[in-house]
Chains A and B, each alone.
Chain A
Amino acid sequence: MAVNNNAKKISVVPFGPQHPVLPEPIHLDLVLKDEKVVYALPSIGFVHRGLEKLVEKRDYEQFVLIAERTCGICSFGHGMGYVEAIEKIMNLDIPPRAKFLRTMWAELARMHNHLMWLGLQADAFGFESLFMECWRLREKVLDMLELTTGGRVIFSVNKVGGLRKDVTPEMLEQILHTIDDLEKECRVVTDTFLGDPDVLSRMKGVGVLTPGRAEELGCCGPFLRASGVKRDCRMLGYEAYGELKFEPIVSYDGDCYARCVVRIEELYQSMDLVRQCIAKMPGGDIDVKVKGNPNGEYMVRIEQPRGEALYYVKANGTRFLTRYRNRTPTYANIPGLIETIKGAELADVAMMILTIDPCISCTER
């Protein structure tokens, strides 16, 4: 029987839920024509934990600790978004020192997220030593967080009405020193990302997403900003962001390289914001007294390291809330990801999935 070798065959290759490039479970059915992906079908739901439902069983003060366990990387932001919503419902005006400390921790968390992402990205395109270098540097950020909060990834410092732990001037001094050292070392690493020909050949022009499509598909975070859309929720001025000087970082190419550039720039921006926070750190209390129970509803938007996250809280005047809803950035970015994968080479798919900085445990809560 004659075999027509020229026939373009369609095959379906499963990606995940267990894949070396991503420790978290997401499954994609990749429809391939030769080596090119023509379509990708995502499916999630492997690690759903029902955290939103748990809000009916734990009182609103305990739930802070559960909200921040949504994810191990954006944990600070999840706790902060939730308490902010409750504070708005209860009309609590938290002291400025608490606002600045929250902002500082949120930025430290952004640094550790972006360094982690850079490492994973290096791993995805097969640059092992760069991966280890990034994670070595990330460790310093984790040490700063451990010093100030007592936890490396789960901080448990937020509470309704302020903070549970204050920071001493010596700690702030140490953070400043560490950041100075860190910045020098990070420069070497990030210059490699931006200038090494091998790295460029893997990322330049790969997975382009146009600004129009990125907005239509509702993308957010560095993924959106890399497509040239200047949208950063920190500009809303929540917590202390209104008093700090910064501009959203955008890049215009919309490819994997642009996403890398945006995250690298944000890493340095975060260092700058931490410095600004420490320079402007006001004194005084870190919490206010909370009386009564929340009654009402509120929705908060904050900028997580991975993009915009929504927190909706509905309370009924008892200690237990009626509804807590959390829309996380990865969830919003999956449609954009599917769009970028179409037409890509199979070998690039893993790297492109990484460029949205997926966090599946957030997505499935």
Chain B
Amino acid sequence: MAFLPYVGMALKNLFSKPATESFPAGEREYTDRYRGHIENDIEKCILCGNCQRNCPSGAIKVSKADFTWEIHPFSCVQCSKCVEVCPVKCLSMVNSFTGIPSRSPARRRQRS
């Protein structure tokens, strides 16, 4: 009779709401610590290149000459290493994803 409690559980699942979420129709609630993507508050960035040197996957490119900070979102492995090493704390790990990725592989920001 080992299967009786199991049948009960299966029936309960049949009539309760799905355990999965219908994404992207429904909203996924991320926990505070969820590692979604990296954001840079570019006005604070001093383009020191620390993040580039410490990134294990080489996802960041900083160019002092062009005043640009660039991240390749598909190379980034969301490890937060860059957030830790940034001297001015302008980088942050945001707990959600960046919508549907654009066709261009990298995001580029220009410092005025």
| Chain B residues, CB < 8 A from A69 | 77
| Chain A residues, CB < 8 A from B93 | 150
B79 interface residue (CB < 8 Å to A)? yes
A66 interface residue (CB < 8 Å to B)? yes
Residues B56 and A146 in contact, CB atoms below 8 Å apart: no
Given the known interface contacts A189-B6, A192-B2, A192-B6, the answer about A136 and B31 at a Cβ–Cβ threshold of 8 Å is: no
Given A63-B56, A150-B34, 12 further pairs, Cβ under 8 A: A65-B79, A69-B77, A129-B10, A133-B9, A147-B33, A148-B33, A150-B31, A150-B35, A188-B8, A195-B3, A196-B2, A196-B3
B84 interface residue (CB < 8 Å to A)? yes
The distance from the CB of A48 to the nearest CB of chain B, in whole angstroms, is 19
A359 to B1, CA, bound (A): 34
Interface readout for B66-91 with A: 1 if CB under 8 Å, 0 if not?
00000000000111110010000000
| Chain A residues, CB < 8 A from B78 | 151, 154, 156
A148 to B32, CA, bound (A): 9
| Chain B residues, CB < 8 A from A293 | none
The distance from the CB of B24 to the nearest CB of chain A, in whole angstroms, is 18
Residues B56 and A65 in contact, CB atoms below 8 Å apart: yes
Residues B5 and A164 in contact, CB atoms below 8 Å apart: no
Interface readout for B1-29 with A: 1 if CB under 8 Å, 0 if not?
01101101110010000010000000000
Give the interface size class of chain B: 20 to 34
Residues A195 and B35 in contact, CB atoms below 8 Å apart: no
| Chain B residues, CB < 8 A from A194 | 2
Give residues in A with beta carbon < 8 Å to B.
58, 62-63, 65-66, 69, 129-130, 133, 136, 139, 146-151, 154, 156, 164-165, 185, 188-189, 191-192, 194-197
Of B34, B54, B79, the most chain A CB neighbours within 10 A belong to: B79
Output the nearest chain A residue to B2 by Cβ-Cβ distance.
A195
Residues B10 and A191 in contact, CB atoms below 8 Å apart: no
Q: Can you spell out 13 A-B residue pairs with CB atoms less than 8 angstroms apart?
A: A65-B56, A65-B79, A69-B77, A133-B6, A133-B9, A136-B19, A150-B31, A150-B34, A151-B35, A154-B77, A191-B2, A194-B2, A197-B2
A148 to B34, CA, bound (A): 9
Going nearest first, the 3 A-B pairs with the smallest beta carbon separation are A195-B2, A150-B33, A62-B56
The distance from the CB of B43 to the nearest CB of chain A, in whole angstroms, is 26
| Chain B residues, CB < 8 A from A197 | 2
A69 to B81, CA, bound (A): 15
Interface readout for B24-64 with A: 1 if CB under 8 Å, 0 if not?
00000001011100000000000000000010100000000
A197 to B4, CA, bound (A): 12
| Chain B residues, CB < 8 A from A63 | 56
Output the nearest chain A residue to B18 by Cβ-Cβ distance.
A136
Residues A191 and B6 in contact, CB atoms below 8 Å apart: yes
Residues B5 and A188 in contact, CB atoms below 8 Å apart: yes
The distance from the CB of A105 to the nearest CB of chain B, in whole angstroms, is 13
| Chain A residues, CB < 8 A from B95 | 150
| Chain A residues, CB < 8 A from B5 | 188, 191-192
Partner of B9, one of A65, A147, A188: A188
| Chain A residues, CB < 8 A from B9 | 133, 185, 188-189
A196 to B6, CA, bound (A): 10
| Chain A residues, CB < 8 A from B33 | 146-150, 165
Output the nearest chain B residue to A135 by Cβ-Cβ distance.
B19
Residues B35 and A58 in contact, CB atoms below 8 Å apart: no
A185 to B2, CA, bound (A): 14
Output the nearest chain B residue to A68 by Cβ-Cβ distance.
B79
A150 to B13, CA, bound (A): 28
A65 to B80, CA, bound (A): 10
Residues A66 and B56 in contact, CB atoms below 8 Å apart: yes
Given the known interface contacts A65-B56, A156-B80, the answer about A147 and B19 at a Cβ–Cβ threshold of 8 Å is: no
A196 to B3, CA, bound (A): 6
A6 to B3, CA, bound (A): 42
Residues B35 and A156 in contact, CB atoms below 8 Å apart: yes
A221 to B73, CA, bound (A): 38
